[in-house]
Structure 1
Amino acid sequence: MVASTSQASNLPNGAEQRGEAAFRFLGFQIYTARLFTKGGLPLDWSQDFGLELTYKRNLSQSDLVEATLREMDRMGNALPIRGQLETCYQAVRPGDTYLAVSNGPDQLTFWRNDVAVCTLSHAGIKTRFMEIFLGENSRSERFTQALLGQ
């Protein structure tokens, strides 16, 4: 499946949807996620790709920043990026989207509701951030496998 017209221009060339999953916490759906890879092929960490989250609940900027930092730390991927995340993240309401797109291994650009909001730059940021959703030690193996189209 190809991304929506407005979003497609934000994705790497030739990116198509690979997988989709809903993330729940304590039974409550928090967001749905869609992974976009080149041609919809299996994830190749050496290629650029995009991950879109569509929120189903209200979350504050602080909730988003703290959850991201906590997950990166839990996975052994902690980085000193709190300030960058505070610039990237704004509070979300149901229906709001964030799209993160890699540009090489050291940059992630974020769009909120199809508007570019920031670029995170740090050595290895693509893997260290995206493993929250796509890594072997993510919070939900079923969620990750669905996103990966497995």
Structure 2
Amino acid sequence: MNRPVLHTVSAALVLAVGCMNLLPANAQATAPEPTLSAALQDKTPVGKARLRYWGFDVYDASLWALPGFDARQFESQRFGLELAYLRDFKGADIAERSIDEMKGLAAIEPAQATRWTQAMSKLFPDVKRGDRITGVHVPGSGARFYLNGKLLGEVADDAFSRLFFGIWLSTKTSQPRMRETLIQGIAGTTR
């Protein structure tokens, strides 16, 4: 697979995993739900989009949220983003590409980028076609990740979570058409 496809896809897999505990001193941790159904108990699918890159189908993304979800303020709301993979990818490549995508959204201190990259590289599994990885944004706490409905772990760092989910939901995303497709079914959302 060529490198540009791998890089775009690797950003997606970051969503797929995250058994990191990068707990800031002021964060209030709550125990993650052991299953995806518990983590998203009151959420419903509000949008779906397929990522295609250079003619390759990469994954189908589904956004899970409460009615009234506001994409302009995604950072302040709990939601889930599921990626159903259509190809196989290496976890280490995903970590590298995810940091690149996050840097496109905001400045990240080099030391922080190094810590996040190292942690993701150690923890991200290789993803196989058919795997479903869902990330749940927990405002003020971080990101929780589920593989095929079972808890993988969490990145207990709110800054990481905001930038990570910004890969898909920020107005600065590198995939604006995908963002528009994911949020187009949300009533009353100004893009």
Q: Is this a same-fold pair by TM over 0.5? A: yes
Q: Which runs of 5+ in 2 are unaligned?
A: 1-34, 186-191
| Distance in 2 between residues matched to 1:26 and 1:92, nearest whole Å | 20
- Give % identity: 24
Richer in strand (by share): 1
2:82 match: 52
Aligned pair partner of 2:52 in 24, 31, 38: 24
Higher Cα Rg, which structure: 2
Tell me the alpha carbon deviations over residues 64-123 of structure 1, each in whole angstroms, 9 at most, x when there is no partner.
111111111122253431233235420011111110002223410001111211111224
* Higher helix fraction (1 or 2): 2
Question: Which residue in the other structure is 1:10 paired with?
Answer: 39
Assess, with a 3 A threshold, how the Cα gap between structure 1 residues 8 and 36 changes in structure 2: closer, same or farther.
same
Distance verdict in 2 for CA 1:131–1:82, change over 3 Å: same
* Aligned match for 1:64, one of 76, 89, 94: 94
| Pairs aligned (count) | 144
Structure 1, gaps ≥5 residues long: 1-5
Q: Tell me, in whole angstroms, the C-alpha distance in 1 between the residues paired with 2:122 and 2:147.
A: 12
TM-score (structure 1 length as normaliser) = 0.85
CA distance in 2, matches of 1:51, 1:96: 14
Query: Aligned Cα RMSD in Å?
Result: 2.0
**Equivalences for residues 125-140 of structure 1 within 5 A:** 125-140=160-175
Letter in 2 for 1:125: F
The higher relative CO (CA closer than 8 Å, separation ≥ 6) is in: 2
Task: Identify the residue that residue 63 of structure 2 maps to in structure 1.
Answer: 35
Instruction: Give the whole-Å Cα distance in 2 for the aligned partners of 1:37 and 1:85.
Output: 26
Is 1:120 equivalent to 2:155 in the alignment? yes
More displaced stretch, 38-47 vs 126-135: 38-47
Counterpart contact for 1:133–1:144, Cα < 8 Å: yes
Change (3 A) 1:39 1:87: farther
Q: Please report how far the alpha carbon of residue 20 of structure 1 lies from its aligned counterpart in structure 2 after TM superposition.
A: 0.3
